[in-house]
Amino acid sequence: MANRTPLIAGNWKLNKTTAEAVALATEIKSGADAAGSDVDVLVSPVFTVLAAVAKALAGSKVFLAGQNMHSELSGAYTGEIAPTMLTDVGCSHVILGHSERRQYFGETDEGVAKKTKVALDNGLLPISCVGETLEEREGGKTMDVVGRQVDAILKAVSADEATKVVIAYEPVWAIGTGKVATPEQAQEVHAFVRKRVGDVHGPAVADAVRILYGGSVKPDNVKGLMALPDVDGALVGGASLKADSFLKLVHFDKQ
C-alpha cells in the first residue's frame, strides 16, 4: 500500500442525540489514542452534534467530518450547510456524494464534483463517494458507472488537489445489507479507480490517493479487506455506532 496511511472513517448517518454522540466520541477518542496504531481515524455525526463532538475530541487524533455540504458559502438555501460552517465547528473533512445522497436526494456526478472542489477551496478534505447499484452490477456496468463518477470528480480538481481527495468505493448493494463485495470484487474496482486517477493526473497522484471500501465492513471482514493492495481504509456505517466494534476496525492491524 505504498506510503498511504490507512483511514477508518465512521459515518454515523441519522443517529445519536448530543449526549449519545458525545459519549460515543469520548469512547472512540480513548480507544483510538491508545495502542498507537498508525491509522487515521474519523467520525462523521449529524450536523446538530458536530460542535459538541468536536469539543469531546479536542486534543485527540480523531478527525471530524460533516456528512454533506452545499456548494455555496451563503444565501437562500434553507436547510443547507456551507463548508465554512463545517470548518467553523471543527470539521477537517466532509463526506460527499454518499450513495444515500445520490439515491434519496438526487445528487449528481456533476454536483458531487463541484462540491469536491468547493470543499478543497475552503479547507475541507473531501471523502467523495462512488459506487454501483445491484442492477448495474448484475448488468455488467460497474466499471462504466464508477468510471463516470470518478472522472467527474477528477476533472474538477488539479493534480495537486486530487492527492487530497479520498475516494470511497461503495457498492450500493452492500450498504446495510450484510453483503460484502468479495476481496476479488473490491480489489478489482479499487485497482480500476486507481488506474483511472493515474490516467487523468499521473501515476504519482494515483499512488498517493487513498481509496476506501464502504459496504457492511465489520470486525470479522476488515482484516481481509485491508490486506488488499489498493484498499486504503474503510467508510463504515453500522459498525461505527458502537465504540467496541469501531475500535476493532481501527485496530485491525492488531488482530
Catalytic residues: 98, 170
What's the Cα-to-Cα distance from 239 to each of 4, 76, 89, 234, 249, rounded to whole Å?
23, 36, 25, 11, 9
Residue type, position 109, single letter: D
Residue type, position 6, single letter: P
What does the alpha-carbon distance between residue 7 and residue 103 come to, in Å, rounded to a whole number?
25
Q: Find cell 474538477 and name the residue.
A: 156
Please list, in sequence order, all residues whose beta carbon lies within 8 angstroms of the beta carbon of residue 83, skipping any fewer than 6 positions away: 69, 70, 73, 94, 118, 119, 121, 122, 123, 124
E strands, 91-243, in order: 93-96, 125-130, 166-169, 211-213, 233-236
What does the alpha-carbon distance between residue 252 and residue 255 come to, in Å, rounded to a whole number?
5
Which triple of cell numbers denotes residue 65? 467530518
Which triple of cell numbers denotes residue 200? 487523468
Are the CB atoms for 86 and 155 separated by under 8 Å?
no
Burial class (CB in 10 A: 0-12, 13-18, 19+), 191: middle
Which triple of cell numbers denotes residue 140? 455488467
